[in-house]
Chain A
Amino acid sequence: MNIIIAGDGKVGSLLTRQLSSEGYDVTVIDSNAQVLQSSVERYDVISVHGNCASMDVLLQAGVKDADLLIAATSQDEINLLCCTTAHSLNPKLHTIARIRNPEYTDQIYRMRDVFGLNMIINPEDQAASEIERLLKYPGFLRRDTFAKGRTEIVELRVDAGSKLCNVRLMDLKGIVGCQVLVCAVIRGGSSVAPKGDFTLREGDRIFVTALSQNLTTLLKNLGIITRRVHGVTLCGGGRISYYLAKRLQRAGLSVRILEKEQKHCEELCELLPDAEILHGDVSDQDMLSSEGFLRTDALVALTGLDELNMIVSLYAAAQGVPQVITKVSHTSNRSVLGSLSLGSVICPRELVCSNIVRYVRAMENQTGAAISVHSIADGQAEAMEFLVEEDTRFCGKPLKEIKLKPNVLLVSISHGPITEIANGDSCFDRGDTVIIVTNGRQVIRQFGDIFA
Chain B
Amino acid sequence: MNYKMMGRFLAQILSIEGIFMIPALLISLYCGDTMAVTGFLQSMLIILALTLVLFLICRGAPSVFTAKAGLVCVGISWVVLSLVGALPFYISREIPSYVDCFFETVSGFTTTGASIVPAVEDLSKGILYWRSFSHWVGGMGVLVFLLAFTGSKGQGFTMHLLRAESPGPNVGKLVPKMRKTAGILYLIYIGLTVLDVLFLAVGGMPLFEAVCTAFGTAGTGGFGVKNDSLAGYSPYLQNVTTVFMALFGVNFSCYYLLLIRQWKSVALDEELRTYIGIILVSVALIAWNIRGLYGTLGETIRHAAFQVSSIITTTGFATTDFDLWPMFSKTILLCLMVVGACAGSTGGGLKIARVLLLLKGLRRNIRHMLQPRKVELIRNNGVTVDEEILGNTNAYLAAYVMIVVVIFLLLSLDGFSVATNLSATLATFNNIGPGLDIVGPTSNFSQFSDFSKLILSFSMLAGRLEIFPILVLFSKSTWKQC
Contact = CB atoms under 8 A, between A and B. Distances in A.
Interface of A: 2, 17, 20-23, 25-27, 33, 39-46
B254 to A, nearest CB: 17
A27 B153 contact: no
Contacts of A44: 152-156, 158-159, 176-178
25 contacts: A2-B176, A21-B153, A22-B154, A23-B153, A23-B154, A25-B176, A40-B156, A40-B159, A41-B67, A41-B156, A41-B157, A42-B156, A43-B154, A43-B155, A43-B156, A44-B152, A44-B153, A44-B155, A44-B156, A44-B158, A44-B159, A44-B176, A45-B156, A46-B173, A46-B175
Given A25-B180, A42-B155, A44-B158, 12 more contacts: A2-B176, A20-B176, A23-B153, A25-B175, A33-B386, A41-B159, A41-B160, A43-B156, A44-B154, A44-B178, A45-B176, A46-B176
Contacts of B176: 2, 20, 25-27, 44-46
Nearest to A39: B156
Contacts of B159: 40-41, 44
Interface of B: 67, 152-160, 172-173, 175-178, 180, 386
Main secondary structure of the interface of B (DSSP, over half): loop
B177 A25 contact: yes
A126 to B, nearest CB: 25
Contacts of A26: 176
Contacts of A2: 176
A21 B386 contact: no
Given A33-B386, A40-B159, A20 B154 contact: yes
Nearest to B153: A21
A36 to B, nearest CB: 11
A6 to B, nearest CB: 14
A156 B154 CA distance: 32
Central interface residue in A25, A44, A45, by most chain B CB within 10 Å: A44
Nearest to A28: B176
B428 to A, nearest CB: 32
Contacts of A45: 156, 176
A39 B155 CA distance: 10
Contacts, number: 46
Contacts of B67: 41
A41 B162 CA distance: 11
A91 B354 CA distance: 41
A17 B154 contact: yes
Nearest to A41: B156
Contacts of A21: 153-155
Nearest to B152: A44
Contacts of B156: 39-45
Contacts of A25: 175-177, 180
Nearest to B180: A25
A333 B180 CA distance: 33
A41 B66 CA distance: 9
The 3 closest A-B pairs by CB, nearest first: A21-B154, A20-B154, A25-B176
Contacts of B178: 44
A39 B173 CA distance: 13
A443 to B, nearest CB: 8
Nearest to B155: A44
Contacts of A23: 153-154
B153 to A, nearest CB: 6
B388 to A, nearest CB: 9
A43 B157 CA distance: 7
A33 B172 CA distance: 14
A51 to B, nearest CB: 15
A25 B152 CA distance: 13
A41 B172 CA distance: 11
Contacts of A33: 386
A70 to B, nearest CB: 14
A48 to B, nearest CB: 11
A2 B154 CA distance: 14
Contacts of B157: 41
Given A25-B177, A40-B159, A41-B160, A46 B172 contact: yes
Contacts of A22: 154
A44 B152 CA distance: 8
Central interface residue in B155, B172, B173, B176, by most chain A CB within 10 Å: B176
Contacts of B158: 44
Contacts of B173: 46
B158 to A, nearest CB: 7
A19 to B, nearest CB: 8
A27 B158 CA distance: 16
Contacts of A41: 67, 156-157, 159-160
A348 to B, nearest CB: 23
A147 to B, nearest CB: 29
A45 B160 CA distance: 13
B387 to A, nearest CB: 11
Central interface residue in B152, B158, B160, B175, by most chain A CB within 10 Å: B175
B184 to A, nearest CB: 13
A6 B158 CA distance: 23
Contacts of A40: 156, 159
A20 B178 CA distance: 11
Nearest to B163: A41
A33 B386 CA distance: 10
A26 B155 CA distance: 12
A415 to B, nearest CB: 35
Nearest to B179: A44
Central interface residue in B159, B160, B178, by most chain A CB within 10 Å: B159
A33 B389 CA distance: 13
A27 B175 CA distance: 9
Contacts of A39: 156
Nearest to A18: B154
A299 to B, nearest CB: 38
A43 B153 CA distance: 9
Contacts of B153: 21, 23, 44
